[in-house]
Protein backbone atom coordinates (compact mmCIF):
# COMPACT_ATOMS: atom_id res chain seq x y z
CA UNK A 1 0.00 0.00 0.00
CA UNK A 2 1.38 3.37 -1.02
CA UNK A 3 1.52 6.04 1.68
CA UNK A 4 2.76 9.61 2.02
CA UNK A 5 6.14 9.08 3.66
CA UNK A 6 9.23 10.84 4.95
CA UNK A 7 7.67 13.81 6.72
CA UNK A 8 7.44 15.30 10.20
CA UNK A 9 4.72 16.64 12.46
CA UNK A 10 4.54 20.42 12.34
CA UNK A 11 2.29 23.41 12.72
CA UNK A 12 4.57 26.16 11.49
CA UNK A 13 4.74 29.80 12.50
CA UNK A 14 2.63 32.67 11.12
CA UNK A 15 3.60 33.53 7.54
CA UNK A 16 2.75 36.08 4.85
CA UNK A 17 1.82 35.44 1.22
CA UNK A 18 1.28 38.47 -1.03
CA UNK A 19 0.29 40.70 1.86
CA UNK A 20 -2.04 38.22 3.55
CA UNK A 21 -1.08 36.70 6.91
CA UNK A 22 -1.83 33.07 7.78
CA UNK A 23 -1.75 31.73 11.34
CA UNK A 24 -1.25 27.95 11.57
CA UNK A 25 -2.86 26.44 14.66
CA UNK A 26 -4.25 23.27 16.12
CA UNK A 27 -8.02 23.37 16.34
CA UNK A 28 -9.76 20.12 17.21
CA UNK A 29 -13.14 21.75 16.47
CA UNK A 30 -12.22 22.94 12.96
CA UNK A 31 -15.30 22.76 10.70
CA UNK A 32 -15.41 25.19 7.82
CA UNK A 33 -16.85 25.60 4.33
CA UNK A 34 -15.30 27.15 1.25
CA UNK A 35 -14.07 26.46 -2.24
CA UNK A 36 -11.84 23.48 -2.99
CA UNK A 37 -9.45 23.34 -5.92
CA UNK A 38 -6.93 20.67 -6.86
CA UNK A 39 -3.30 20.28 -7.90
CA UNK A 40 -1.52 17.47 -9.71
CA UNK A 41 1.30 16.76 -12.16
CA UNK A 42 3.11 20.10 -11.75
CA UNK A 43 3.88 19.24 -8.12
CA UNK A 44 3.97 15.43 -8.36
CA UNK A 45 7.10 14.07 -6.69
CA UNK A 46 7.98 17.31 -4.91
CA UNK A 47 8.34 17.79 -1.17
CA UNK A 48 5.27 18.94 0.71
CA UNK A 49 5.40 21.57 3.46
CA UNK A 50 6.02 18.91 6.13
CA UNK A 51 8.67 17.06 4.12
CA UNK A 52 6.62 14.26 2.58
CA UNK A 53 6.61 13.47 -1.14
CA UNK A 54 3.50 14.71 -2.93
CA UNK A 55 1.75 11.95 -4.85
CA UNK A 56 -1.20 13.19 -6.89
CA UNK A 57 -2.67 9.68 -6.88
CA UNK A 58 -3.03 9.54 -3.08
CA UNK A 59 -5.86 11.04 -1.03
CA UNK A 60 -4.03 14.10 0.26
CA UNK A 61 -4.65 17.83 0.47
CA UNK A 62 -3.09 21.19 1.26
CA UNK A 63 -4.52 23.63 3.80
CA UNK A 64 -3.30 27.12 4.81
CA UNK A 65 -3.44 26.70 8.59
CA UNK A 66 -4.20 23.17 9.85
CA UNK A 67 -1.30 21.15 11.33
CA UNK A 68 0.42 18.51 9.22
CA UNK A 69 -0.17 15.68 8.84
CA UNK A 70 -3.78 15.46 9.99
CA UNK A 71 -6.86 13.72 8.70
CA UNK A 72 -9.85 15.72 7.53
CA UNK A 73 -13.20 14.80 6.08
CA UNK A 74 -14.01 16.81 2.96
CA UNK A 75 -17.57 16.83 1.66
CA UNK A 76 -18.56 18.14 -1.76
CA UNK A 77 -21.66 20.19 -0.93
CA UNK A 78 -22.70 20.17 -4.58
CA UNK A 79 -23.11 16.39 -4.93
CA UNK A 80 -22.90 14.99 -1.38
CA UNK A 81 -19.74 12.96 -1.94
CA UNK A 82 -17.16 12.86 0.85
CA UNK A 83 -13.63 11.59 1.37
CA UNK A 84 -11.08 11.48 4.19
CA UNK A 85 -7.77 13.03 3.16
CA UNK A 86 -4.33 13.46 4.68
CA UNK A 87 -3.39 17.14 4.95
CA UNK A 88 0.37 17.36 4.46
CA UNK A 89 0.94 20.58 2.54
CA UNK A 90 0.31 24.34 2.61
CA UNK A 91 -2.07 26.19 0.27
CA UNK A 92 -4.16 27.29 -1.50
CA UNK A 93 -3.47 31.02 -1.15
CA UNK A 94 -6.28 32.51 -3.24
CA UNK A 95 -8.53 34.47 -0.88
CA UNK A 96 -11.68 32.49 -1.68
CA UNK A 97 -10.10 29.02 -1.39
CA UNK A 98 -10.44 26.71 1.60
CA UNK A 99 -8.43 23.63 0.56
CA UNK A 100 -6.36 22.25 -2.33
CA UNK A 101 -6.99 18.57 -3.06
CA UNK A 102 -4.77 16.04 -4.80
CA UNK A 103 -5.91 15.04 -8.27
CA UNK A 104 -7.17 11.69 -6.98
CA UNK A 105 -9.12 13.32 -4.13
CA UNK A 106 -10.72 15.78 -6.56
CA UNK A 107 -11.71 12.87 -8.78
CA UNK A 108 -13.30 11.01 -5.86
CA UNK A 109 -15.27 14.12 -4.92
CA UNK A 110 -16.38 14.55 -8.52
CA UNK A 111 -14.98 17.97 -9.37
CA UNK A 112 -11.75 17.16 -11.22
CA UNK A 113 -13.17 18.21 -14.58
CA UNK A 114 -14.91 21.30 -13.21
CA UNK A 115 -11.82 22.38 -11.28
CA UNK A 116 -13.45 23.69 -8.10
CA UNK A 117 -16.32 22.86 -5.76
CA UNK A 118 -17.99 24.18 -2.64
CA UNK A 119 -16.91 21.89 0.21
CA UNK A 120 -17.04 21.37 3.94
CA UNK A 121 -13.78 20.57 5.77
CA UNK A 122 -13.93 18.81 9.16
CA UNK A 123 -10.85 18.08 11.28
CA UNK A 124 -10.62 14.40 12.32
CA UNK A 125 -7.29 14.23 14.15
CA UNK A 126 -3.61 13.55 13.73
CA UNK A 127 -2.46 11.23 10.95
CA UNK A 128 0.27 8.60 11.39
CA UNK A 129 3.84 9.19 10.21
CA UNK A 130 5.80 6.89 7.91
CA UNK A 131 9.51 6.71 7.14
CA UNK A 132 10.93 6.97 3.62
CA UNK A 133 10.32 3.23 3.14
CA UNK A 134 6.66 3.57 4.09
CA UNK A 135 7.00 2.01 7.54
CA UNK A 136 5.03 3.40 10.46
CA UNK A 137 7.53 5.21 12.68
CA UNK A 138 5.44 6.79 15.39
CA UNK A 139 2.25 5.86 17.11
CA UNK A 140 -0.56 8.33 16.78
CA UNK A 141 -0.60 10.59 19.81
CA UNK A 142 -3.33 12.77 21.30
CA UNK A 143 -4.31 15.70 19.14
CA UNK A 144 -1.92 18.24 20.58
CA UNK A 145 0.53 20.12 18.43
CA UNK A 146 3.36 22.41 19.47
CA UNK A 147 4.82 25.26 17.46
CA UNK A 148 8.12 24.41 15.81
CA UNK A 149 10.20 27.05 17.54
CA UNK A 150 9.84 29.21 20.63
CA UNK A 151 8.69 32.70 19.74
CA UNK A 152 11.26 35.28 20.79
CA UNK A 153 10.98 39.04 20.36
CA UNK A 154 13.32 40.80 17.95
CA UNK A 155 16.28 42.53 19.49
CA UNK A 156 15.80 46.17 20.36
CA UNK A 157 17.19 48.32 17.56
CA UNK A 158 18.43 51.01 19.94
CA UNK A 159 22.21 51.49 20.14
CA UNK A 160 23.67 50.48 23.48
CA UNK A 161 25.54 53.17 25.39
CA UNK A 162 29.26 52.68 26.03
CA UNK A 163 29.92 51.02 29.40
CA UNK A 164 30.91 53.34 32.22
CA UNK A 165 34.44 52.70 33.41
CA UNK A 166 34.78 52.29 37.21
CA UNK A 167 36.83 54.94 39.05
CA UNK A 168 38.50 54.89 42.44
CA UNK A 169 36.83 57.00 45.15
CA UNK A 170 38.99 58.27 48.02
CA UNK A 171 37.92 59.30 51.52
CA UNK A 172 39.26 62.43 53.21
CA UNK A 173 42.15 60.45 54.71
CA UNK A 174 43.17 59.06 51.34
CA UNK A 175 41.74 55.55 51.72
CA UNK A 176 39.96 53.92 48.83
CA UNK A 177 36.31 53.12 49.23
CA UNK A 178 35.28 49.62 48.31
CA UNK A 179 33.88 49.48 44.83
CA UNK A 180 30.22 48.55 44.68
CA UNK A 181 29.40 45.24 43.09
CA UNK A 182 28.10 45.78 39.56
CA UNK A 183 24.46 45.05 38.96
CA UNK A 184 24.20 41.79 37.09
CA UNK A 185 20.88 40.83 35.60
CA UNK A 186 20.34 37.17 36.33
CA UNK A 187 19.08 35.03 33.51
CA UNK A 188 15.87 33.20 34.18
CA UNK A 189 14.71 30.12 32.37
CA UNK A 190 11.26 28.76 31.69
CA UNK A 191 9.85 25.89 29.68
CA UNK A 192 7.64 26.75 26.74
CA UNK A 193 5.14 23.97 26.14
CA UNK A 194 3.06 25.41 23.32
CA UNK A 195 2.07 28.47 21.29
CA UNK A 196 -1.48 28.99 20.08
CA UNK A 197 -3.40 31.60 18.14
CA UNK A 198 -6.60 30.83 20.06
CA UNK A 199 -6.61 31.56 23.78
CA UNK A 200 -9.06 28.77 24.59
CA UNK A 201 -6.58 26.21 23.21
CA UNK A 202 -3.82 27.66 25.38
CA UNK A 203 -6.14 27.52 28.40
CA UNK A 204 -6.98 23.88 27.65
CA UNK A 205 -3.28 22.99 27.68
CA UNK A 206 -2.79 25.05 30.84
CA UNK A 207 -5.49 23.00 32.55
CA UNK A 208 -3.80 19.73 31.54
CA UNK A 209 -0.48 20.90 32.95
CA UNK A 210 -1.67 21.93 36.41
CA UNK A 211 -0.42 18.70 37.92
CA UNK A 212 3.18 19.63 37.08
CA UNK A 213 3.72 23.16 38.43
CA UNK A 214 2.29 26.66 38.08
CA UNK A 215 1.54 27.34 34.44
CA UNK A 216 0.95 30.73 32.90
CA UNK A 217 -0.17 32.07 29.54
CA UNK A 218 1.78 34.96 28.04
CA UNK A 219 0.43 37.04 25.16
CA UNK A 220 2.87 37.68 22.31
CA UNK A 221 2.28 40.15 19.48
CA UNK A 222 3.54 38.86 16.15
CA UNK A 223 2.73 40.00 12.63
CA UNK A 224 -0.26 41.99 13.78
CA UNK A 225 -1.77 39.00 15.58
CA UNK A 226 -1.88 37.92 19.21
CA UNK A 227 -0.41 34.53 20.05
CA UNK A 228 -0.64 32.78 23.41
CA UNK A 229 2.47 31.13 24.79
CA UNK A 230 2.04 28.47 27.50
CA UNK A 231 5.00 28.52 29.90
CA UNK A 232 6.02 26.69 33.05
CA UNK A 233 8.44 27.64 35.78
CA UNK A 234 10.87 30.49 36.13
CA UNK A 235 14.24 29.27 37.39
CA UNK A 236 17.56 31.05 37.85
CA UNK A 237 19.37 27.78 37.22
CA UNK A 238 19.07 26.15 33.82
CA UNK A 239 19.29 22.72 35.43
CA UNK A 240 16.01 23.40 37.26
CA UNK A 241 14.32 24.22 33.97
CA UNK A 242 15.80 21.09 32.45
CA UNK A 243 14.34 19.02 35.28
CA UNK A 244 10.92 20.45 34.45
CA UNK A 245 11.51 19.76 30.76
CA UNK A 246 12.44 16.14 31.43
CA UNK A 247 9.23 15.57 33.39
CA UNK A 248 7.21 17.06 30.55
CA UNK A 249 8.93 14.93 27.93
CA UNK A 250 8.36 11.82 30.04
CA UNK A 251 4.67 12.71 30.11
CA UNK A 252 4.53 12.95 26.32
CA UNK A 253 5.11 16.67 25.75
CA UNK A 254 8.08 15.96 23.51
CA UNK A 255 8.25 19.34 21.78
CA UNK A 256 8.58 21.48 24.91
CA UNK A 257 11.66 23.72 24.92
CA UNK A 258 13.68 25.76 27.43
CA UNK A 259 13.64 29.51 26.80
CA UNK A 260 15.31 32.51 28.42
CA UNK A 261 12.91 34.98 30.01
CB atoms within 10 A of CB 202: 23
Spatial distance between the Cα atoms of 231 and 255, rounded to a whole number of angstroms:
13
Q: How confident is the model at residue 191 (pLDDT cuts 50, 70, 90)?
A: confident
pLDDT tens-place string over residues 204-224:
888 888 777 688 888 877 656
What's the whole-number mean pLDDT along residues 62-68?
Answer: 95
Cis peptide before 92 (omega within 30 of 0): yes
Query: Per-residue pLDDT for 40 more than 70?
Result: yes
Q: For residue 145, what are the contacts with CB-CB under 8 A and spacing of at least 6?
A: 9, 10, 11, 26, 67, 126, 194
Please report whether residue 94 resides in a domain: yes
Mean model confidence pLDDT for the chain: 77
What was the pLDDT predicted at 197? 76
pLDDT digits (tens, 9 = 90+) for 218-256: 887 765 677 788 888 766 666 777 777 777 777 777 667
The C-alpha angle 25, 148, 201, rounded to 5 degrees, equals 35
Same domain flag for 123 and 195: no
Per-position b or e across 74-93, b if 16+ CB within 10 A of its CB: bbbeeeeeebebbbbbbbbe
Higher pLDDT: 111 or 171? It is: 111
What is residue 202's predicted lDDT score, i.e. its pLDDT? 85
pLDDT of residue 116: 96
Same domain, 130 and 239: no
> 134 or 53: which carries more pLDDT confidence?
53
124 and 216: one domain?
no
Whether residue 173 is contained in a domain is answered as no
Domain boundary among 138, 170, 204: 138
> Helix count (H) and strand count (E) of the chain?
3, 14
Asked whether residue 96 carries a pLDDT value surpassing 90, the answer given is no
Domain harbouring 253, CATH code: 3.30.70.1070
**If we measure between CA atoms, which residue out of 82, 123, 85, 98 comes closest to residue 37?**
98
**Predicted pLDDT at 146:** 38
pLDDT band (50, 70, 90) for residue 16: confident
Q: Is the pLDDT of residue 44 over 70?
A: yes
Q: Is 43 found in the same domain as 133?
A: yes
| pLDDT of res. 21 | 87
CATH of the domain at 60: 2.40.40.10
78-85: average pLDDT: 94
Whether the predicted pLDDT of 12 surpasses 90: no
Last residue of a domain, one of 73, 105, 138: 138
Domain boundary among 110, 138, 166: 138
Q: Domain range spanning residue 97?
A: 15-138
Instruction: Give me the percent of the chain exceeding a pLDDT of 90.
Output: 31
The verdict on 110 and 201 lying in the same domain is no
Give kind and range of the element (H or E) at residue 130: strand 129-130
Query: For 136-188, how does the pLDDT look when each residue is reduced to its tens digit (9 = 90+)?
Result: 664 444 333 333 334 333 333 223 333 434 444 444 455 555 554 544 445 67
Task: Please report the pLDDT score of residue 235 as a whole number.
Answer: 63
Burial class (CB in 10 A: 0-12, 13-18, 19+), 29: exposed
Whether 159 maps to a domain, the answer reads: no
The model's confidence at residue 33, banded by pLDDT at 50, 70 and 90, is very high
Compare 4 and 114 and report the one with higher pLDDT.
114
The tally of domains found in the chain comes to: 2
Same domain, 132 and 35: yes
112 pLDDT higher than 60: yes
Establish if 25 belongs to a structural domain. yes
Amino acid sequence: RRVAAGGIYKIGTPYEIEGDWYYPQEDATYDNTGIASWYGSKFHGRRTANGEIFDMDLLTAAHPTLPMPVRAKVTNLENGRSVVVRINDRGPFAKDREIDMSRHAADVLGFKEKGTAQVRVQYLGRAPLYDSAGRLIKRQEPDRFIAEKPITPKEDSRVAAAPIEPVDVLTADGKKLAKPEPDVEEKRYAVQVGVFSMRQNAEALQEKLKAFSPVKIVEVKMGGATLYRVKMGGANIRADARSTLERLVAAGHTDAVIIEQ
